[in-house]
Structure 1
Amino acid sequence: MKKTMTAVVAGALVLAVASPALAAPALANTALANTGSSPTSLQSRLDRLTADPALPGALATVRERGGAESVTRSGTAEVGTGKPMIGAEGRFRIASMSKPIIAATVLALAERGKIDLDAPIERYLPGVVRGTGEGAAIDGRKITVRMLLQQTSGLREFTDVVEWVEPMPDFLKVALARKPTRRGEFAYANTNYLVAGMLVAEVTGRTYQQASRDLVLVPYGMRDTYWPEKGEMGLRGPHAHTYGVNPARPEDGPVDLTDQLPTELFGPSGGLVSTPSDLNRFWSRAPLPDMTRTLTPIKQEGWPKGARYGFAVARTSTSCGTGWFHGGDMPGASVISGRDRAGRTATVYVTGLTAAPKQREKLLAAFDSALCGR
């Protein structure tokens, strides 16, 4: 018997029982620099987050350019136990923070001459990206690899319309049957990175998981980051508990989700498990000049004012200058991670989904404080 699941939005990656607006990172529609005018400390900002019962634990980890790391924590690692929030070694589902790792993998392959960023995806996946029905105009011969990475391909999101049942449908098939957005303009969709993962597998002869491990995770020293195995529900190693609504059983209300989510299902768009320390290592090694060589204006609602998007990284203004970041959301966790011009990196995450605008503003404010040393 098929088990019907509620509509789940896999957007930043947002995998949440939420509105379609969360199909893009649900960031406040203001510049990060405007997230607060008072000199509030990072600890205070984290405490404001965990004052919300839906966000029991919060952590901010900062890595200086020289490698020194500092950690600020708030709340508990497990509701009802009094255990303090886990440190920077704690593993959690990073959702759409998986996208920058996939983008870096594609760039590594491009550097080796295996991928031409300006070639049509048809060259590598012949006949795969062809629309049907309302999506008949979708044509992989007109969509470049660069467009996939930059979210300008015109491919539509699948997660806000898919019927979430077991066995799950073919996500790409669902997306290809939808009317496309305007090619060349930013429109965030997990479909782009679903296809990017297929591209990586095709040109390497390995899975995207294996390729990203060899080209990014291992070289960057991200030793605690992993792609879960098929059917794996829990988190390996040290971790805080995560809380929210299980999309398979929304009638249960908020529950402990730590061992209830099949993370591998969310693929290259959002399937990674990592740690704050590893995400900071990523930003300290990522090819940011290549990831931001071309930037497209983000006119979609839900992003910081004036933000521009590169290859799975957004450029925006912070209270201390220019910053680069990406976010991720799913039931049980929300994260924002990035770096500044000087090479300072910061990651802030909470053990619940920041779906409400006020929650998101507080998370953004904490990230700004962490990145800017306030």
Structure 2
Amino acid sequence: MTSTTSRRLLAAAAIGVLVLAPVAPAVASTSTSASASPSRDLDRSLQAQLDRLTKEDKAPGALAYVTEADGTSTTVVSGTAERGTGRPMVGADAKFRIGSITKPVLAVTVLRLVEQGKIALDAPVERYLPGVLRGTGAGAAIDGRKITVRGLLQQTSGLPDFMGAVDWSKPSQDYLKIALGMKPTPAGRFAYANTNYLVAGMVVKAVTGRDFRAVSRDLVLEPLGMLGTYWPARGDTGLRKPYAHTYGVNPVDPQGGVVDVTRLPGYELGASGGLVSTPEDLNRFWDGVFTGKVLSDRAFLKRTVAMKGGEWPVGSRYGFGMARVQMSCGTVWFHGGDVPGVFALSGRASSGRQATVYTTGSMNGDKQFPHMIATLTTALCP
């Protein structure tokens, strides 16, 4: 739920291949499963990475799911699905909250509407949401007549991120109103903000007359066969089975320490981070997008902006809801996601390999990030 964590996940992944050291296998693997495994060496390497996440970093559970270009796959897990039970970690068909990995799905939804002629990328947001984007106070310079749909998807609109200003102990807050009262970021420069995708979801509803959840389901999820992926309904705090329990700090009670946060108001995370999915479905998403199953024009892959300054390494770029970086195996497209109790990375290498990795615990980011990146790097570029 924190934008800082999402940014660091993206930044760490972008630089990960440059700083990783080999990992010695753990003495004993917690749990492993594989289906048509492309390589037993890959299994062992991923097992070592996941065991480090559960043993050294104390994540309750961890999973890596890799799909090759020919459709063969491997699933490797470590840890438990529920503390105190000894129940093995769930598999690649299990549901989890994917956080900001929602953004690539929403971006592709918008791009499908662009292909249908319902949205123009370079049109001002004002065309679709007249009078909606008008800043107040510190945000007085925010003006929807100067912000394009492209700027929303590429995180260059100048809209500030509402996430750090929300009081999560208060239900049903107006996130956009909060953002419109904040100081904007420099327009035209990359600045990660969940507000961009909040507004993009509003644009989808404006041009279709339907909630962005239903539109994304019809245009992306169902065509790609992502049958385990869904948007939680209002008031729905649980997860559909199967799932692993997740553990972290509840934003409603940050003083309560690490607790079971499996039940969260997922609906409130909306267009910027509300999806529930599975590793199988996320890999299916990357394959479908990059092989033309939902977009006839994939030129958007080349239309990126530089992610300059701050934590972003030289050469990192951001497209339409996707970050791009060069790794040892070529170009990698990916996104990170986090909600309390989950850290996740998912993406695709130019070789046609897809991978999703996630853990079910909130831990020390400075320590865990490089370990998470090591796992993704091993999965995509063995």
**Structure 1 length normalisation: TM-score?**
0.91
The residue that corresponds to 1:22 in the other structure is: 5
Give the Å deviation of 1:166.
Answer: 2.6
Q: Please list, as runs of the form range in 1=range in 2, the aligned pairs for 1:282-301 lying within 5 A after superposition.
A: 282-287=285-290, 289-301=298-310
Q: Please list, as runs of the form range in 1=range in 2, the aligned pairs for 1:117-136 lying within 5 A after superposition.
A: 117-136=121-140
Give the Å deviation of 1:39.
Answer: 6.9
CA contact (8 A) 1:58 1:349 kept: yes
Q: 2:16 aligns with which of 32, 35, 50?
A: 32
CA contact (8 A) 2:330 2:351 kept: no
CA contact (8 A) 1:29 1:303 kept: no
The residue that corresponds to 1:358 in the other structure is: 367
Gaps of 5+ in 2: 25-44, 292-297
Which structure has more relative contact order (CA 8 Å, sep 6+)? It is 1
What is the distance in 2 between the residues matched to 1:246 and 1:311? 30
CA contact (8 A) 1:91 1:235 kept: yes
**SS class of match (2:199):** helix
Give the Å deviation of 1:30.
Answer: 6.1
Give the Å deviation of 1:28.
Answer: 2.3
The residue that corresponds to 2:103 in the other structure is: 99
What is the distance in 2 between the residues matched to 1:54 and 1:37? 20
Q: Please list, as runs of the form range in 1=range in 2, the aligned pairs for 1:314-325 lying within 5 A after superposition.
A: 314-325=323-334
**Structure 2 length normalisation: TM-score?**
0.89
Q: 2:353 aligns with which of 326, 344, 347?
A: 344
CA contact (8 A) 2:61 2:360 kept: yes
What is the distance in 1 between the residues matched to 2:239 and 2:198? 23
Question: Does 2:72 correspond to 1:68?
Answer: yes
What is the distance in 2 between the residues matched to 1:104 and 1:355? 32
The residue that corresponds to 2:144 in the other structure is: 140
The residue that corresponds to 2:342 in the other structure is: 333
**Structure 1 pair 323/346, CA: closer, same or farther in 2 (3 Å)?**
same
What is the distance in 2 between the residues matched to 1:71 and 1:121? 42
Aligned-partner residue type, residue 34 of structure 1: L
The residue that corresponds to 1:221 in the other structure is: 225
What is the distance in 2 between the residues matched to 1:306 and 1:346? 22
CA contact (8 A) 1:97 1:328 kept: yes
What CA deviation, in whole Å up to 9, does each residue of 1:149-196 have, x standing for no partner?
A: 000000000111223343332100111111111110000000000000
Gaps of 5+ in 1: 1-8, 12-20
CA contact (8 A) 1:331 1:353 kept: yes
**Structure 1 pair 39/249, CA: closer, same or farther in 2 (3 Å)?**
closer
Q: CA RMSD in A?
A: 1.7
* Number of positions where the alignment pairs a residue of Structure 1 with one of Structure 2: 355
**Structure 1 pair 197/368, CA: closer, same or farther in 2 (3 Å)?**
same
Q: Please list, as runs of the form range in 1=range in 2, the aligned pairs for 1:1-374 lying within 5 A after superposition.
A: 9-11=1-3, 21-22=4-5, 24-26=7-9, 27-28=11-12, 31-38=15-22, 41-52=45-56, 54-259=58-263, 261-287=264-290, 289-372=298-381, 374=382
Percent of matched pairs sharing the same residue: 55
